[in-house]
Structure 1
Amino acid sequence: MHNGTLSIDPAFTVAPVNRRVFGSFVEHMGRCVYGGIYEPGHPTADDSGFRGDVLALVRELGVTAVRYPGGNFVSGYRWEDGVGPVGDRPTRLDPAWRTVETNAFGLNEFMEWSRKAEVEPIMAMNLGTRGLQEAVDLLEYANHPEGTALSDARVEHGVKEPHGIRMWCLGNEMDGPWQLGHKTATEYGRLAAETARAMRQFDPGLELVACGSSGRSMPTFGSWEATVLEHTYDVVDLVSAHAYYQLDGEDVASFLASSVDMDLFIREVIATADHVGAKLSSAKRINIAFDEWNVWYLREMQAGGLPDDWTEAPRLSEDAYTALDAVVVGSLLITLLKHADRVTVACQAQLVNTISAIRCEPDGPAWRQSIFHPFALTARHAQGEVLDLRLDVPTLSTSKHGDVPVLDSVATWDAATGRLAVFVVNRDPAEEVAVSAQLRGFGEVGLVEATLVGDDDLFAVNTVDEPDRVVPTAHPAAAMDGTILRATLPPASWSMFLLQAP
């Protein structure tokens, strides 16, 4: 058994918890939209065709913002296809996922669904096959009150009030050779800057996200961000980052340490952005929108390939997530919170069916995947300020990441309610960790709840027949000893401790 110590004090803060960090992602990929959030005729569907059981789970998950409509899909998308009378909308081929897109669900349906789901919309625009004019047309259609051709068209389409979308993504993964309209950093940077300037002429208060790298392993990583930001620094607010992780073979230890890579990714993007700011003698600070992240068994999808035939809403990347995957997702959330001063938006990809926290079947039930639970618990209980805690823990050797701390942890403190939340992951796949958290700065706090996500069977999954196989459980050994929280953390586990100050 290892021993570890956490030192937590309310005087040492990182930044307030930004609720947008608990965002998600809806793309026209697989069954995320059709057969996911939208299934007219389902027993729980409302008059607009939105599945009520899925909506209830989205609210329970605690999602605060949702990025739409892609993803790779957006780089070939014509937004006009998805508005107006549904019977008049054209059917198109989507080469990104080799599917048939009926356009029965588009901008106005998504905005209605967002209101019902109680989430903020984040809109991505096509800078792959389209450009500046289409972007400002979409902005005018969505956000202008009335009195112009485009805004009046929205009113004619049954939406009198403007949508008021505040955050916009200037394209998607334009560094990726797989992306329709893939560009060099200079080509994309110039287009993104031109588009951002035009959008700000319509509304200077918009929040704009420039495309960063599709992953830290991209050959252009670093140089891409530097070049793009040299073009866009004065006209954007954030730069994006995307990362997906998966278990390779039987290397569980490296998989459990995936957040080490995410942490380095964030630090390197911050360093690059700040370097560009220094070169430009700018006092402005660019933050990060980590607007795609999750566990994704991408190599399995690539091995199977996309559908041979053009079909509507095929099953793509419907990963059945394990207890081990849930622990990794919990650890990634810890990393995002630790960087609350610079990561101000994050979107777990995706929301339903495709690499998702929620699964459902046509005409059937919806259920929570294992990864649903650490997300929901963190979104619900991470409140107030993120604290800058200190760890004194042994290290664990991994083949991918070298020696890593056996524990990772973050805490949040809500002074208004006196609630302290401590989130901690044991990365060791074989050994327990006896942890003690020194909390003397909070006074006589009491332990309210101690919750564990993990399982003796690391590969247990939730299914339609057994939807509650992997669920949070009461922590087996956690208690207060004066001003010290003591707990024993099982191997490969994620834990949450809620404490209350008087």
Structure 2
Amino acid sequence: MLSASLTVDPAFRVGPVRRRTFGSFVEHLGRCVYSGIHDPGHPTADADGFRGDVVELTKELGISSVRYPGGNFVSGYRWEDGIGPRDQRPSRLDLAWHSTEPNLVGVDEFMRWTALSGTEPMMAVNLGTRGVQEALDLLEYCNVRSGTYWSDLRRANGAPQPYDVRMWCLGNEMDGPWQIGHKTAHEYGRLAAETARAMRMVDPGLELVACGSSSSAMPTFGEWERIVLDETYEHVDYISAHAYYAEEDGDLGSFLASAVDMDHFVSSVAAAADGVRAHKKLAKRIHISFDEWNVWYQKRAESRPPTGHDWPVAPVLLEDRYNVADAVVVGNLLISLLRNTDRVHAASLAQLVNVIAPMMTEPGGRLWRQTTFHPFAQASQLAVGEVLQVAVEAPTYETARFGDVPLLDAVATWDEPAGALTVFVVNRSTDGDVRLDVDLRALPGLRLVEATTLSNPDHTWVASPDDDVSVAPRPNASVAVADGRLGGTLPPVSWSVLRLAV
């Protein structure tokens, strides 16, 4: 059996665990909104049509913030269509996903949903087909108390108090030729700076996110960040990052090492931002909003939108069914986000329900957890306090995409007031157990509270409405603590959480 060791020391702190790391994303795409969070015919639906069972599972998942309403959708969205009496709202063509948008859910409904689910709204404005004035109108509607056209209209629509949205995305993936209103870096940077400056005239305390590259594979990656931040640096707080991963051509080894790419993405964006900072001689540091990330099989049929004269409402789109390996990769990506907490101050798992999501619904029927639900829920619940950099010594394996990669990857969080340590670890080995040894001598007096592992002899196992618990995290009886060291066995293709306390 192969062996690996971890060393955990509270002296090596990266930064605080940030609740916004555990954000999600609701876009008007496929069945995420309609028959996802909103399903008026469902037995648990409230007066707005929101499914109560989805709200409860959102709470169980531990979602902190929700980005809305897109995504590609936002670049053609007229937000005014989604307010006022529902029977007077227009239906519109959604060019992003070749669908029809009925506008039954809009700003007011979404804000009520965030209140139900206990999540923070994170709004995106349309800088594709629209611009500064429309962003200001939406901000006025959401955040101004009263006495103006849009604020009084919000009050007339049943919301006397402002929504006080703090975090705003200035467009979406404007580097992508697929985006409605796609722009060059100079064009977008100038528009984003003008929009940010105007929005701060209304509310100086906003947190604003400029669009970074939609992928590290984009030919403009790096240079896009430099140009955009050269225009916007003084006016924004974050630059966005988006990344999706999939097992391609049966290359499981590279897929399991996807966090290597995420780490590289974060360090590259941070370096680009810091380069602009140095050039401008500024003290302010720009941080990263990793506001789209997940496993997404973009080449599968379910990711292809309708075509021709077919413009359906809420078509089945991007409904990936996730297996055990996908869950382990999601867990490893969470490890990456946590260990980069000094630069990644917010993140959004894309998306929340039905669309490349940790939970799935049947219209009017059942709800179930995908395999990817479990590592996210555990990390959101148990990552508390300070993130610790973990020293990993492990055998390596060769991958086609990333070269030699360690079989194990890990991060830890230390809640000093509670005396609680949590270690998150993945075993990327595809064919063998790894014997784990963790040096805890820098934290004397720790006892084991719980050790759980998510794995299955068949890493292709997929959850269903009939069985979404067979690969829920289970107690790992091999784990024990003695003389300042933790030992245990980690099965192949697995995600484990080790909880200890003084």
TM-score range, shorter-chain basis?
A: over 0.9
SS in 1 for 2:244: strand
CA 317–280 in structure 1, closer or farther in 2 if over 3 Å, else same: same
Match of 1:46 in 2: 46
Superposed CA offset, 1:181-221 (max 9, x none) = 00000000000000000001111100000000000000000
Partner of 1:473: 474
Using the TM superposition, name which of 425-434 and 187-196 deviates more.
Answer: 425-434
Q: Work out whether residues 412 and 421 of structure 1, in 8 Å CA contact, stay in contact via their aligned partners in 2.
A: yes
CA distance in structure 2 between the partners assigned to 1:232 and 1:49 by the alignment? 40
Question: Is 2:97–2:305's contact at 8 Å kept on the other side of the alignment?
Answer: no
In structure 2, the residue matched to 1:485 is: 486
Question: Structure 1 CA distance, aligned partners of 2:230 and 2:18?
Answer: 27
Matches for 1:308-323 after TM superposition, within 5 Å: 308=308, 309-323=310-324
The letter for the 2-side match of 1:113 is: W
Residue equivalent to 2:74: 74
Shift of 1:126: 0.2
State the secondary structure of the residue aligned to 2:442.
helix
Contact 1:320 1:369 in 2 (8 A): yes
Q: What are the superposed Cα offsets for residues 346-382 of structure 1, whole Å, 9 maximum, x if unpaired? A: 0000000000001010111111100000000000000
Q: Does 1:398 align with 2:374?
A: no
> 1:98 is matched with which residue?
98
User: Using a 3 Å threshold, how does the CA distance of structure 1 residues 152 and 304 change in structure 2: closer, same or farther?
Assistant: closer
The answer to whether the Cα contact below 8 Å between 1:444 and 1:482 also exists between their aligned partners in 2 is: no
Distance 1:345 1:443 in 2: 32
1:252 is aligned to: 252
Separation (CA, whole Å) in 1 of partners of 2:343 and 2:378: 22
- Cα distance change on mapping 1:42 and 1:366 into 2, 3 Å: same
Tell whether the 8 Å contact from 1:461 to 1:469 is kept in structure 2 after alignment. Answer: no
Shift of 1:469: 3.1
| Aligned match of 1:278 | 278
How far apart are the structure 2 equivalents of 1:303 and 1:482? Answer: 52
Match in the other structure for 1:367: 368
SS in 1 for 2:204: coil
2:220 aligned with 1:220, yes or no?
A: yes
Question: Which amino acid letter does the alignment assign opposite residue 100 of structure 1?
Answer: T
Instruction: Quote the residue 1:415 is aligned against.
Output: 416
Contact conserved, 2:3 with 2:395, CA < 8 A, in 1? yes
CA distance in 2, matches of 1:181, 1:313: 23
40-49 or 298-307: bigger deviation: 298-307
1:5 maps to which residue? 5
Q: Distance in 2 between matches of 1:476 and 1:94?
A: 52
What is the distance in 2 between the residues matched to 1:18 and 1:306?
39
Aligned partners of 2:328 and 2:98: how far apart in 1?
A: 33
Counterpart Cα distance in 2 of 1:87 and 1:26:
23
Partner Cα separation in structure 1 for residue 468 and residue 390 of structure 2? 36
Instruction: Write the deviation string for residues 405-440 of structure 1: whole angstroms up to 9, x where unpaired.
Output: 111100000011111000011111112211111111
Q: Partners in 2 of 1:44 and 1:305 — Cα distance?
A: 30
Distance in 2 (alpha carbons) for counterparts of 1:120 and 1:43: 26
Distance 1:341 1:278 in 2: 18
The CA deviation string for residues 229-250 of structure 1, in whole angstroms up to 9 with x for no partner, is: 0000000000000000001121
Q: Is the 8 A contact 1:42 1:362 kept in 2?
A: yes
Fraction of identical pairs, as percent: 57
Checking the alignment, whether the CA contact within 8 Å between 2:262 and 2:336 is kept in structure 1 is yes
| Aligned positions of 1:70-469 closer than 5 A | 70-301=70-301, 304-308=304-308, 309-469=310-470
After alignment, is 258-267 or 457-466 more displaced? 457-466
Alpha-carbon distance, 1:141 to partner: 0.8
* Stretch deviating more after TM superposition (209-218 or 466-475): 466-475
Which residue pairs with 2:56 in the alignment? 56
Structure 1's unaligned 5+ residue stretches are: none
Q: CA separation in 2, counterparts of 1:229 and 1:166? A: 21
- Provide Cα deviations, 1:142-196, integer angstroms capped at 9, x if missing partner: 1000001111111111111000000000000000000000000000000000000
TM-score, normalised by the number of residues in structure 2: 0.99
Which amino acid is 1:240 matched to?
S
TM value normalised by structure 1? 0.99
Q: What is the CA distance between 1:384 and its match in structure 2?
A: 0.2
SS in 2 for 1:465: coil
Secondary structure at the aligned position of 1:186 is classed as helix
Q: How far, CA to CA, are the matches of 1:471 and 1:431 in structure 2?
A: 20
The CA distance in 2 between the partners of 1:316 and 1:29, in whole Å, is: 7
Residue aligned with 1:442, SS: coil
**Structure 1 residues 179, 302: CA separation in 2 closer, same or farther (over 3 Å shift)?**
farther
User: Partners in 2 of 1:126 and 1:400 — Cα distance?
Assistant: 36
1:324 and 1:492 in contact (8 A); partners too: yes
Cα distance, 1:103 vs structure 2: 0.3
Deviates more, 1:459-468 or 1:341-350: 459-468
What is the one-letter code of the residue matched to 2:385? G
Give the partner amino acid of 1:483. Answer: G
Distance 1:177 1:125 in 2: 18
SS in 1 for 2:412: strand
> Structure 1 residues 140 and 305, CA, compared in 2 at 3 Å: closer, same or farther?
closer
The amino acid that maps onto 2:102 is T
1 CA distance for matches of 2:304 and 2:231? Answer: 39
Describe the SS at the equivalent of 1:29.
Answer: coil
1:69 Cα deviation from its structure 2 partner: 0.1
- Could you tell me whether the CA contact under 8 Å between 2:303 and 2:318 is conserved in 1? no
Q: Distance in 2 between matches of 1:455 and 1:204?
A: 51
CA contact (8 A) 2:98 2:305 kept: no
Partners of 1:305 and 1:72 in 2: how far apart? 13
Distance 1:500 1:152 in 2: 52
* CA distance, structure 2, for counterparts of residue 209 and residue 84 of structure 1: 28
Q: Which moved more, 1:305-314 or 1:10-19?
A: 305-314
- Equivalent residues of 1:20, 1:64 under 8 A apart: yes
Once residues 116 and 305 of structure 2 are traced to their aligned partners in structure 1, the CA distance between those partners, rounded to angstroms, is: 35
Q: Which residue number in structure 2 is paired with residue 19 of structure 1?
A: 19
Cα distance in structure 2, aligned partners of 1:419 and 1:218: 41
Q: CA deviation at 1:473?
A: 1.1
Q: Indicate the larger mover: 483-492 or 171-180.
A: 483-492
Q: Separation in 1 of the partners of 2:321 and 2:213?
A: 27
Matching residue's letter, 1:383 = V
The whole-number CA distance in structure 1 between the counterparts of 2:426 and 2:464 is 25
Match of 1:24, SS?
strand
